[in-house]
A and B are shown apart, each in its own frame.
Chain A
């Protein structure tokens, strides 16, 4: 008999031995080494062992009896330390063993990020039974905390298992969404929601700094100084092929031991199977291809022909209740198209990637019943042109009928307790009741429930509830949807973001059934605004969903340069500020213009120079004038009672106070203010979004003026006696506009829709006013920061420079 030595008793070599003994039980005399003190078990079932759904005994694939039956000499708990190819022996601490043929099947080693403290007791990887037992032990302390670093397959299975064992679990993931290698953002978002629902905390974009503790792990700290307690830290951030034996033996190496299609290394007597090998540039991390390798290697040992081929792979997560599937390729390539299907009610998301009439990738979440069918289409490269229209509905729809997604699905999916009309607290159920009681029109519903009777922003939703309930019995008035990504109007989207508490863009796309993977230039800036206006503390402003001016905090000009316009509070300035502006203009070679908004514009600045000129202006105490935003622009003032012989109040001072209170806030469209010292109105306050005319008895506040494409005079909101009251009313009005208006509606357009009467009615209530002011101030706690100063620091300023300069490279 030939001597066969196998290094590593893992999933790949176990399968190899089964094939070998099946085909030729007497051909080889086998010695099997394993560094783990045990034989072959089903490593992928460690997750059910961790969660307690299975015991270790249940996942053993080869027990002592099996090894005895096949006369395998087992050397478990022995790590092979070297291979002497000249003498054809393997070396282990307990002596050399000669071989005729050798199998290296050493698998992978988990990768450990060398954070300070990574070597403390209590920091474990997730690879073998020892790791699993350490986790089970940690979970036996009541209320203990586990931190899992890595939101990929392994990390999430660890997190779910630990949670089932009663631990407080936090998952730290470095990119923006979970399982980013297999899932797109939406599927990642749904997965995160499911995990959070079962009590697992998820922190994405985590910036872990250290693992700390006295003699054992106690906490994990972050770059921003915050920390979370940890009784155990599981590091599941990836694997590295365990192939040092190959390197030391002088085998041909890539990132792992290189093999040919017969699984032979550069030494024909040494074969490899499993994660320790590299084939055709590929490494492996899932069992399906390893089983193919095992079959081929067995054939090679028996002298038969076979060749290993790469196959498409698919991923599933073994966490009960999180049904996800991903397969194929989402990476770049010309001519790719997406088909997206979303069913918010069931939490279902499916995305297919098509190239040249073939399916090349699929992600699904929530409903993976058809996953295998799609996977088959990918593997076989089936021509899908014929079934393209209905492809996403799965095999059941092929060859018949054909269906289209129901445009009203989002509304149909709302539960009865979902609030439709925020002003009057009317839920969907109330409307359904009125319809059941005979209401057939918007007016009927309005009369019976008061829904849409106040600000009117929910009108579209009420109509849609009527439409889904009455079917053909109701003719929908046609209000335009936001864009081609959705059938909902701006007002619907705003209302749903509030009532369903949608706090991220993927949440909006999924729950409101967006038809594109990630929106378009029309909806993205709008959704970004709605989210930051409604959830200032939770939502993170997204620069990539802003138009160029707001992203770069300067106005782009026709030649690609920018203009820079610092604030001059209420139009007041000082000699020092003017000197700083003049010096900056000289230094950066700017054109200088006095604007129609009472300040100075520096034109023709190069993008690369923006952070530097901002730093210079900041140094003189000046901040961004936000001349580029849908936000507070200028507050025009006149000289007022300080100087003017007709001035009745300190219009300049009041203007400055208002500007200092309002600057930095984002609004649906730009907001301009004017404060004039008397009805002669030198500050043009009567054609501003908010205009104040000072009079002897106090202040007249007008709203809804404009002097752009439309010229409008303000309408009177209220007359008040003191500056404090002016500020309260103005801030409250501003916040009402921020919370309710459609993106890109100036105040007058919004007022046209909702009616000034409703606004007056709401603001007349002091409690409402104060609540609006309080919400505005919360938002300002986040957004009233000088964006220039934030970007003038070196770490941000580099983002304004080119990524690379190849002008030198190409020179010779």
Chain B
């Protein structure tokens, strides 16, 4: 994997999110714990709600528009709703957030 540094962990508030722009739309980075970050598509499978604006709880996010809940680990919508968002490899190193360039490019090509 080829990792790209996209910013500092502390630029995301605890239980908050920020987005990274890519050619094929935005990737959302969620900080679920002091040292835990997930990367997913920012776009809700329901009506394209911007997921980074949702409330982050446990390892889940609730869409800001109509409250669909997604697992940030699997990208699956929870409960009765059916839908899926893409998830991407992400890792933390010395307080920095690294995204995998290959998966991001694969996303752009798709």
Contact = CB atoms under 8 A, between A and B. Distances in A.
Interface of A: 175-176, 180-181, 184, 330-336, 338, 516-521, 524-525, 543-548, 551-552, 556, 558-560, 799, 802-807, 809-811
A556 B13 contact: no
B34 A518 contact: no
B77 interface: no
A519 B101 CA distance: 34
A547 B62 CA distance: 10
Contacts of B33: 184, 330
Interface string B73-95: 11000000000000000101000
Given A519-B57, A544-B13, A810-B105, A558 B65 contact: yes
Chain A interface mostly: loop
A756 B68 CA distance: 38
Contact of A806 (B11, B21, B37): B21
B7 A544 contact: no
11 contacts: A331-B92, A334-B74, A521-B55, A524-B55, A544-B16, A560-B50, A799-B11, A802-B21, A804-B21, A806-B4, A810-B108
Nearest to A562: B53
A556 B22 contact: no
Given A331-B35, A560-B49, A810-B22, A803 B57 contact: no
B37 A332 contact: yes
Contact of A521 (B29, B67, B104): B67
A810 B104 contact: yes
A521 B23 contact: no
Interface string B12-30: 1111101111110010010
A650 B69 CA distance: 50
A331 B36 contact: yes
Top 5 nearest A-B pairs (CB, nearest first) are A548-B64, A803-B18, A804-B6, A544-B15, A521-B55
Contacts of A518: 15, 57-58
Contacts of B11: 799, 803
B37 to A, nearest CB: 7
Contact of A176 (B14, B18, B48, B97): B14
A155 to B, nearest CB: 17
Nearest to A811: B23
Contacts of B50: 556, 560
A181 B92 CA distance: 14
Nearest to B49: A560
Nearest to B27: A806
B34 A521 contact: no
A129 B56 CA distance: 46
Nearest to A338: B58
B36 A332 contact: yes
Contacts of B34: 175-176, 180
Nearest to B5: A804
Nearest to A552: B53
A164 B99 CA distance: 47
Contacts of B19: 802-803
B54 to A, nearest CB: 7
Which bucket holds chain B's interface residue count?
35 or more
Of the listed residues A330, A333, A336, A807, the one surrounded by the most CB atoms of chain B closer than 10 A to its CB is A807
A560 B57 contact: no
Contacts of B105: 810
A184 B37 CA distance: 15
Given A180-B34, A547-B55, A807 B21 contact: yes
Contacts of A517: 58
Nearest to A805: B21
A803 B12 contact: yes
Contact of A556 (B20, B58, B64, B69): B64
A521 B47 CA distance: 19
Contacts of B7: 803-804
Contacts of A811: 23
Contacts of A548: 53-54, 64
A806 B49 contact: no
Given A334-B74, A521-B67, 11 more contacts: A180-B34, A184-B33, A332-B73, A334-B73, A524-B55, A544-B14, A799-B11, A802-B21, A804-B7, A810-B22, A810-B23
Contacts of A516: 57-58
A518 B55 CA distance: 12
B38 interface: yes
A556 B65 contact: yes
A330 B16 contact: no
Interface string B36-54: 1110000000011110011
A176 B31 CA distance: 14
A554 to B, nearest CB: 11
B22 A806 contact: yes
A805 B7 CA distance: 11
A520 B57 contact: yes
B20 A802 contact: yes
B37 A521 contact: no
A330 B33 CA distance: 9
A520 B69 CA distance: 11
B45 to A, nearest CB: 15
Nearest to B53: A548
Contacts of A809: 4, 101
A535 to B, nearest CB: 20
Given A332-B37, A806-B104, A556 B55 contact: no
Nearest to B15: A544
A525 B55 CA distance: 9
B6 A806 contact: yes
Contacts of A524: 55, 57
B91 to A, nearest CB: 9
Given A338-B58, A560-B50, A802 B16 contact: no
B43 to A, nearest CB: 9
A476 to B, nearest CB: 28
A332 B48 CA distance: 26
Contacts of A334: 73-74
Contacts of A330: 33, 35-36
Nearest to A549: B64
Given A803-B11, A804-B6, A809-B4, A521 B65 contact: no
B29 A803 contact: yes
